[in-house]
Amino acid sequence: MKKFFSVILLALLAFGALVGCAGRTYEIALVTDVGNIDDKSFNEGAWTGVKNYAEANDISYDYFRPAEDSQAARVETIEAAIDKGAKIVVCPGYLFETAIFEVQADYPDVAFLILDGEPNNGDFSNDGANLVYETADNVHCVLYQEEQAGFLAGYAAVQEGFRSLGFIGGMAVPAVIRYGYGYVQGAEKAAVDLGLATGAVTMKYYYVGAFEGSDALETKMDGWYAAGVEVIFSCGGKLYTSVVAAAANTTAGKVIGVDVDQQAESDRIITSAMKALTLSVEESLEAFFDNEKAWPATLAGKTRTMGAVENGIGLPTAAASWRLTNFTVTEYNALFADLVDGDIVVSASTAAEPTVTKIVVDYDA
């Protein structure tokens, strides 16, 4: 009999625990894109910002992951976060543009922070003539000058001594294109500054069409390294897993990471072209909560673009992350200052490939 009541008690305790968990609410919610909060890239950078701010200010927080990669799943997950009490929903990535466009008017008392995108209807028909952008007052958007981060990475690679470069992008979306075209411009600038002969620096350039690694991508990267490519800028989500795996199959193949400092993932990663994802989330959340849980007028319905001037992009300069031996941190800081001062201007255009005269880029690699 005692055993019977013990089992019943344990069952009731377990049920109570489940009910307690089910009833928990969270003021700050992050909804991931196709990745997860441990992707060592975009989601994780944003999640770290949420976590840092929430824990420093004793605010409840959690993350929610869509069941699949679809508009319906993203909307459903955003609504699930709101049902859990979210006062603000952080949405990392351009995939949320159409989802926020759909829900922003339905939840005027909920704030949304979208990184790398602006709400729009996603209608690219008729050569984009039907595309409508609309950012409600309960939404704040943050964009980054990826072209500057890519520029720094390309410049550093050539100054380091690499002459055969590669660029792998996830999808040909604006942020990825800006990274890639900035990388091209940086390599070109370094070749000019070093007085290299035309064609002394070459680059293979390719968009995968996905943000996940694969056996097929690793095989392609094996081919690039075998053909003489020395360093590859891996730009997008978990693509780096395949690029790093291919680099590890070589004697000296190197990789450049993206979005966050990825040096801990492999000793083959020599630097990373970063966005200040964590900082931008922390600053946005601070502005929201300091204004009584509403966007201040300077942010409500507006887009903030972060570049070198705002310390919104860069390469990591900590000793553990700086794996360049010829190009120094001092030289990097001088280059960064030129971006801040406007002495160097990197084109953000995605309409056409950058004009180069020194390096040779194979866009069909």
Q: What is the pLDDT of residues 317-357, one digit of tens each?
A: 999 999 999 999 999 999 999 999 999 999 999 999 999 99
Question: How many separate domains does the chain show?
Answer: 2
Tell me whether residue 108 is in a domain: yes
- 89 and 159 belong to one structural domain: no
What is the pLDDT at residue 122?
Answer: 86
Tell me whether residue 18 is in a domain: no
Tell me whether residue 174 is in a domain: yes
Neighbours of 195 (CB within 10 A): 8
**CATH of residue 74:** 3.40.50.2300
- 64 and 116 belong to one structural domain: yes
How far apart CA 321 and CA 58 sit, in angstroms, is: 31
- 348 and 218 belong to one structural domain: yes
What pLDDT digit, counting tens, does each position of 35-76 carry? 788 877 788 999 999 999 999 999 999 999 999 999 999 999
The DSSP bridge pattern shows strands 254-259 and 231-235 to be: parallel
- 186 and 325 belong to one structural domain: yes
φ, ψ of residue 168 in degrees (nearest 5):
-120, 115
Tell me whether residue 15 is in a domain: no
Tell me whether residue 241 is in a domain: yes
pLDDT > 70 in the chain, percent = 94
Tell me whether residue 189 is in a domain: yes
Tell me whether residue 204 is in a domain: yes
What is the pLDDT at residue 130?
Answer: 86
How far apart CA 165 and CA 176 sit, in angstroms, is: 17
The domain boundary residue, chosen from 260, 290, 306:
306
- 45 and 96 belong to one structural domain: yes
What is the pLDDT at residue 264?
Answer: 92
Q: How large is the C-alpha radius of gyration of the chain?
A: 23
- 69 and 172 belong to one structural domain: no
How far apart CA 92 and CA 90 sit, in angstroms, is: 6
What pLDDT digit, counting tens, does each position of 106-158 carry? 999 999 999 999 999 988 887 778 889 999 999 999 999 999 999 999 999 99
What is the pLDDT at residue 23?
Answer: 60
Structural domain that includes position 86: 24-136+278-306
- 349 and 295 belong to one structural domain: no
Q: From its phi and psi, is residue 125 left (phi > 0), alpha (psi between -120 and 50) or beta?
A: beta
- 164 and 262 belong to one structural domain: yes
What pLDDT digit, counting tens, does each position of 209-267 carry? 998 899 999 999 999 999 999 999 999 888 999 999 999 999 999 999 999 999 999 99
